[in-house]
Amino acid sequence: MSRRRLLGTAGAAGATGLVLGAAGGATGYAATRDEAPAALTSVGSTEVMFHGKHQPGITTPLQARGHLIAFDLAPGAGRKEAAALMRRWSATAERLMTGEPVTGGSADGTGHDTGIALDAGPSSLTVTFGFGATFFERTGLKGHRPPGLDPLPPFSADHLDAGRSNGDLWVQIGADDALVAFHALRAVQKEAAATATVRWQMDGFNRTPGATAKPMTARNLMGQIDGTGNPKPDDSDFDKRLFVAAGAGDAAYDWLAGGSYAVVRRIRMLLDDWEKLPVERQERVIGRRKADGAPLSGGTETTEMDLDRAGPDGKLLIPDNAHARISSPERNSGAAMLRRPFSYHDGIASDGGPDAGLLFICWQADPLRGFVPVQRKLDRGDALSPFLRHEASGLFAVPGGAAQGEYVGQRLLES
């Protein structure tokens, strides 16, 4: 059976295989641990399309593994070299997202695939590309830099490391298998060759699909359900909030139509301090129950918060400084963004506590109307702030998806 046929039939076979594994007990365990190969499961066979109106990795469901990496163009590299790099990156991403190995000559001269993911399916791999503000200066395209890339304002909670912030180019990689994600990371790094050098890299993870009894909103490393209030694709204004509309503003920015802006923040969680709080106190800091994510005003996770409801003592059930209250669209003139983070753990920090937290990534059509007003309010009085440390930040314009025969960013670089 050919590789492509195997991938095509695995989706139908995957569900059956999972059921048999659950029913088989020790037999199922042995079958997956023996030397004999097991059939590709539904997790491994899931494929995300590279071409489309929007780039993959924005509305794609959260993946189990992620890599964020920023590059700076090498000295002497300009628009021509950047275009060649984006052409190589796009071709590589398109092939890897189908579960196929990289073929042909690489920019680093090796000319072969690393073989890291030869045995795996596509595993929901996505590769997403963005441009930082400095990219436009270094490629002679300053007149095409959109206003949404104006620098983010400083926030009092920031403790930013400039060496791990911003960058000319940004790549987000996500997959449901760690080796598939790493394979894509190495391919992206190799293709950069002499055109661009790594500025920073951050590695993250989420819960693996299928690890819970039913699909549910992810939890972060504080144990809180995180992402309940995200805009939903069936919201009437979903596209308006997330994506830049065609013909919006100056024609110099038409290349961004169908694209979005990504704000990236490395937020360390002070877990030793957080975990000392009793659960009831943690819930008042957040404004939601820890067990199921329901608002303290009552209901289930998806019940809208009643911000005016008080308890028998006359005090608000959701405190004035609760994170969920301050960040809610109702308290921010409707400002909303799609949060699509990864958790991270980089060992032990110099202070002896876990160097762990959130690789916060949010998507919006305009960061000055999405991320900025919400973060300003959180910066002024969020009960969660004492347990967080913002250590790195970046803002990137992410072009719309590439049509068949195009590479990402072509409408900008060949304008």
29 burial level (CB within 10 Å; 0-12, 13-18, 19+)? exposed
- Average pLDDT score over residue span 74-101: 97
Confidence of residue 105 (pLDDT cuts 50, 70, 90): low
Return d(Cα 200, Cα 316) in angstroms, integer: 43
Side chain identity, residue 308: D
Segment 137-148, tens digit of pLDDT: 999 999 999 999
pLDDT of the residue at 336: 85
- The percentage of residues in the chain with a pLDDT greater than 90, rounded to a whole number, is 81
Can you list the positions of beta strands (E) in 35-124? Answer: 65-73
Q: In the block, which residue shows the tokens 């052409």? A: 87
Strands 260-269 and 196-205: unpaired
Q: What is the mean pLDDT of the chain?
A: 90
Query: Which residues fall within 8 angstroms of residue 112, CB to CB, at 6 or more apart?
Result: 106
Spatial CA neighbour of 320 closest among 281, 370, 284, 371? 284
Segment 361-377, tens digit of pLDDT: 999 999 999 999 999 99
Between 6 and 160, name the one with better pLDDT: 160
The pair of structure tokens assigned to 282 is: 């943690």
Chain center to CA of 394 = 13
Catalytic positions: 226
Return d(Cα 125, Cα 99) in angstroms, integer: 8
Q: Which run of H or of E encompasses 45?
A: helix 42-45
Segment 237-273, tens digit of pLDDT: 999 999 999 877 789 999 999 999 999 999 999 999 9
Spatial CA neighbour of 95 closest among 308, 400, 407? 407
Confidence of residue 40 (pLDDT cuts 50, 70, 90): low
Instruction: Assess contact for 23 and 17: CB atoms under 8 A.
Output: no
Spatial CA neighbour of 216 closest among 267, 292, 286? 292
- Region of poorest pLDDT, from 14-23, 86-95, 330-339: 14-23
pTM attached to this predicted model: 0.89
Report domain extents, the chain: 1-34
Q: How many residues does the chain have?
A: 415
116 burial level (CB within 10 Å; 0-12, 13-18, 19+)? middle
Q: How far separated are the first and last CA of the chain, in Å rounded?
A: 45
Side chain identity, residue 128: T
Segment 281-291, tens digit of pLDDT: 999 999 999 99
Query: Which residues fall within 8 angstroms of residue 410, CB to CB, at 6 or more apart?
Result: 83, 86, 87, 402
pLDDT of the residue at 154: 95
pLDDT of the residue at 111: 65
Q: Helical H runs in 287-341? A: 323-326
Return d(Cα 201, Cα 70) in angstroms, integer: 6
Instruction: Assess contact for 109 and 168: CB atoms under 8 A.
Output: no
Instruction: Assess contact for 170 and 262: CB atoms under 8 A.
Output: yes
Return d(Cα 66, Cα 68) in angstroms, integer: 7
pLDDT of the residue at 8: 43
Half-sphere exposure for 295 (CA within 13 Å, toward CB): 23
Rg of the chain, C-alpha, whole Å: 22
String of b and e for 207-239 (b: at least 16 CB within 10 Å)? eebeeeeeeebbbbbbebbbbbbbbeeeeeeeb
Confidence of residue 332 (pLDDT cuts 50, 70, 90): confident
Q: Three-state SS for 113?
A: coil
